[in-house]
Structures are given as C-alpha cells and as structure tokens.
Amino acid sequence: MKFKNLPEEPPVETRVANALSQTQILDIHTHLYDPAMGKMLLWGIDELLTYHYLVAESFRFFKMPYKDFFVLEKKQQAELIWNELFIKHSPISESCRGVITTLNMLGLDVNRRDLNSVRKWFAQRTVEQHVEEVFESANLSAAVMTNSPFDPEEIALWKKGFSRDSRFLSALRVDPLVLEYNSVVGFLCQQGYDVRSDLDQKTRNELIRFLHFWADTIQPLYLMVSLPPDFSLDLDSEDSSILTQVVLPFCKTRGLPFAIMAGVTRSVNPHLGLAGDSLGCFSIEAIEKLCRTFPDNKFLVTALSRENQHHLCVASRKFPNLHPFGCWWFTNIPSLIDEISNLRFELLGLSFTPQHSDARVLDQLLYKWTHFKESLILTLGEKYSALEASGWDVGDEEIKRDLKGLLGGEFLQFSGRSLI
Ligand code: RAT
Ligand code: ZN
C-alpha cells in the first residue's frame, strides 16, 4: 500500500538502470587478448570498421569482386566500408550503430562524418590507456579470452610466458581437436605427443596430457567448442569420439565446465572469409542426452539459431548441469535479445547468463554492453513491474543481487568458482 504523503518511488526501470550502473560485468566470452600478447589484441577505428560483421554487410552493396577487397590493406578496406555503410547509407544495422555508440562513448564527434579525425584521435593513444578507459566505461571487471592451443602465434607467447593482466581470463578452445582430429595429428606429433589417428588408449592418454599441459599453462575457466548443426553427439558416432572419450573425461577430472556454441555452419560463402559463416538448427535433444549421460560434467551452452532458444530453456529446466548463456552473434541484435531474455526469465528465473560480448575489438565492449543494458533495463524492469503488480515489492538491494548474478555471478557459481 502506498501513502500519498510518501515520496513516489522512481519507476522500476530507473531503479534497474541505477543498480546496473553500479554492477561490474564479467564478460564470459570474447576474442580479446591480454595486452601482453601484443598485436593479438585488436583496437582502434580501422579494426572496428573491418569487423567481419560489417564486411558481410558491405558486400550487400559493394560491386567489386571479393578478392579485390581482400587484397587491400586494412586501412583501405576500412575506408571502403565507412563510405558504403556510413556515408552512402544511414548506419542503422546493429553492427553499424555499434560503431557510432562506441565512438560517441569515447567522446568523438561522429556528426562531422570525418574518418581522418577519428583516426588521428586513436593514433595518439596507447593500448594501456585504452584498455583502462574501455574497461572503466563498460564497467567490466574481466573479460574471458578465447585461447587456441593450435594457433602458432599464441603457442609461442604462452610458452615464452608473460606477466598476466588479471582483467583477461582464459578459456581453452578445442575446435580443431573435436571437429577435425585427423588434420591435427601431425601437429600434435610435432609438439611431442605420441598420438595416432586411431583413438587407442595410448592416444587418448596423450591427448589428455596435451589438455593438462594447456590447462596448467593458461588456467582456463572452461574448455569450449563451436559445433555445426549436423554434428552428431551420439555416443557411438565417430563425430563425438574425441568429445566423449577425451575432452569430457578431462573436464570432469579438472572440474572444468565445457562450453558448446551450437549451430554454426562455417564457410557457406568461402569468398567472404570470417564473414562467410551461417547457421542452422542444432539438436537440443542431443544436448539433453549429453547432460543426462554425463551428469558429472557441466555444460555451458549457447545456440545460434532463434528456433533453438525455447527448447534450450526447457532443457535447462531439466538439467542443473546445463547453463545457457549469451545471445550469440546473429542473435545479438536488440529484437532477439529482448525475445531470448524474456524466454529465459520466464522459464528459468535468474539461473543463466544472459549475455557475453563476443568482442573481437577492444572498443566493441562499449557498444555491445551498452546495447545489451538498454534491453536488460526494459526486460528485467518489466518482470519486476509484473511481480510488484502481483504483490511482491522488490528492494534495491535485491535488484543489485540479481544483476550481480546475471552479469557473472551465476556463471561463477555454476563453474564452482568463488566470486572475483
Ligand atoms: O562472433 C564472432 O565473431 C564469430 O566469428 C565467432 O568467433 C564466434 O563467436 C565463435 O566464437 O566461434
Ligand atoms: Zn566467439
């Protein structure tokens, strides 16, 4: 009951926004790197403009052959994209608007439509200063990298060793091992592992030794893979043998979750390179079977197709060892974020992680999180309003607690880690 002489409480959306501004985010999946890894960490305007999401959109307008674009230097590619998507058309797509939000948050005047002045501004900055400012402005406590034990550049850096920045946590990405084992046998042998194409006991032990080495070296929060729609998780299928006989037993021994990014079809248009991937529906029945068959493993799952989202929520109600996360890639657009968050709130309450940024360029943390927060204020605000209308007053401290869970706390709980 509200009394007339008491000051009116601000609308619940405002209270969510206030609490959100005080909540630090743990970004559980990015493609960013510790600054000590040098040029692997991308930042700046030319990287922002040549993001593969924008390359795909530019080719909707470009009239040139693919190869004429890809032979150009990054700077020239960026100019073509800027011209096509920002000057000749209004930049209304999510990825285009993202560049505008980002530049604005950095204090740049985008209304001059002047790429060179933006370039000059970036040229005067150091990477250290930029990491500092972006993390502070996005309100991030840490970002999880995607670390590949098959990338020669990364291997060299980790083996040499460097002093780690505590804001950059790691995740061990094992796509080549799970998806194309035969193509990495030679590489593994060169690295000193006595493995064969045949998955005999010796080979399995050696692969597990390989994973232990990398887990000891990089201290990952989880292992991860992205899977095509037609990947069979059947226990007796050849597809899943490395997963079920090597990776999952290893994860169980080390107490590490295994993250599945489900439903990517790589290279539907190979001419577009990184921008040429598409999606398909994944079998959530197979995920359910995995959770049932490996009850001592923990699965973090995100799905690329819109059609998979409802089933993934229902599956998560059945298996406490399944934690849905993020609005991945083509689902990271406002209309689908609203829809997916609503599905999850309504079916799972607060026991999931609604977003990761997938940032490939440091500056993208600014827009990816700002745009997500715009959605969260409305979706979560609406849920609290409905709850209040039903007679449950929601306190500010309770809102803060809930947001802390959504923005990293639930993920850490699920992973068996203490809050950082
Ligand atoms: O979102 C992306 O940038 C994609 O290219 C992929 O990297 C995807 O997120 C993945 O991790 O496979
Ligand atoms: Zn990714």
What pLDDT is recorded for position 320? Answer: 98
Q: What percent of the chain has pLDDT over 70?
A: 98
66 occurs within a structural domain: no
Encode 106-152 in three state secondary structure. CCCCHHHCCHHHHHHHHHCCCHHHHHHHHHHHHCEEEEECCECCCCH
Mutate to test the pocket of ligand 1, among 29, 30, 31 (most ligand atoms within 8 A of CB): 31
250 occurs within a structural domain: yes
Is residue 234 scored above 90 in pLDDT? no
* CB distance 316 to 324 below 8 Å: yes
What is the band of 137 on the pLDDT scale with cuts at 50, 70, 90? very high
The number of helices, as runs of H, and strands, as runs of E, in the chain is: 20, 9
Give the closest residue (by CA) to ligand 1 atom 1: 329
What is the band of 246 on the pLDDT scale with cuts at 50, 70, 90? very high
Strands 278-279 and 299-303: unpaired
pLDDT in tens, 4-35: 556 788 999 999 999 999 999 999 999 999 99
330 lines ligand 1 (CB under 6 A): no
Is residue 363 scored above 60 in pLDDT? yes
What is the band of 82 on the pLDDT scale with cuts at 50, 70, 90? very high
58 occurs within a structural domain: no
Tell me the two tokens of residue 213.
């080495």
Q: How many domains does the chain have?
A: 1
Q: Which residue has 């690329």 as its token pair?
A: 304
- State the CATH number of the domain containing residue 341: 3.20.20.140
Give the closest residue (by CA) to ligand 1 atom 4: 329
Is residue 202 scored above 90 in pLDDT? yes
Mutate to test the pocket of ligand 1, among 178, 328, 358, 361 (most ligand atoms within 8 A of CB): 358
What pLDDT is recorded for position 355? Answer: 99
Supply the DSSP string of 54-112, one letter for each residue.
HHHHHTTT--S-HHHHHTS-HHHHHHHHIIIIIISS---SHHHHHHHHHHHHTT--GGG
pLDDT in tens, 288-313: 999 999 999 999 999 999 999 999 99
Q: Compute the distance from residue 31 Cα to the ligand 2 centre, in Å.
A: 6
Mean pLDDT calculated for residue range 244-264: 98
Mean pLDDT calculated for residue range 364-382: 98
Q: Compute the distance from residue 261 Cα to the ligand 1 centre, in Å.
A: 9
295 occurs within a structural domain: yes
Q: What is the mean pLDDT of the chain?
A: 97
What pLDDT is recorded for position 237? Answer: 86
278 occurs within a structural domain: yes
Mean pLDDT calculated for residue range 256-268: 98
Ligand 1 atom with the smallest distance to the CA of 146 is: 11
What pLDDT is recorded for position 283? Answer: 97
249 occurs within a structural domain: yes
What pLDDT is recorded for position 420? Answer: 52
Residue at 272: amino acid letter: L
257 occurs within a structural domain: yes
What is the band of 419 on the pLDDT scale with cuts at 50, 70, 90? low
158 lines ligand 1 (CB under 6 A): no
Is residue 134 scored above 60 in pLDDT? yes
pLDDT in tens, 68-81: 999 999 999 999 99
306 lines ligand 1 (CB under 6 A): no
Q: Compute the distance from residue 226 Cα to the ligand 1 centre, in Å.
A: 9
302 occurs within a structural domain: yes
Mean pLDDT calculated for residue range 353-375: 99
What pLDDT is recorded for position 4? Answer: 53
46 lines ligand 1 (CB under 6 A): no
**Structural domain boundaries, residue 317:** 12-41+129-415
Q: Ligand 2 being an ion, which residues bring their Cβ within 5 A of it?
A: 358
What pLDDT is recorded for position 129? Answer: 98
Please classify residue 354 by burial: count the beta carbons closer than 10 Å to its beta carbon, then call 0-12 exposed, 13-18 middle and 19+ buried: buried
What pLDDT is recorded for position 236? Answer: 81
252 lines ligand 1 (CB under 6 A): no
pLDDT in tens, 27-70: 999 999 999 999 999 999 999 999 999 999 999 999 999 999 99
Write the DSSP symbol of residue 247: I
Ligand 1 atom with the smallest distance to the CA of 224 is: 11
